Amino acid sequence: MNPHWQKSSHCSEGSSCVHVVATTTGTVRLTESADPTGAILTTTPQAFAALLRTARRPAGA
């Protein structure tokens, strides 16, 4: 089955963007559009959620 990668909502057209997909095995994979098959990071949903919380935190908080 071919995974359905989702592009970050913070990407402008033509930019190098982060793509994410949830797998059938319960992991989350991340890659970037400039080389989508080159480096694919695999993590747990909990670790990915922590990354998102940290990224959304205001600077200096």
User: Which structure tokens are listed for 7?
Assistant: 């592009």
- Residue 3: what pLDDT? 72
Report yes or no: 17 and 26 within 8 Å, Cβ to Cβ: no
CA 52 → CA 10, 14, 37, distances in Å? 13, 23, 22
Inform me whether the pLDDT recorded for 1 exceeds 60: no
Per residue in 7-43, pLDDT tens? 887 776 666 788 899 999 999 999 887 776 778 899 9
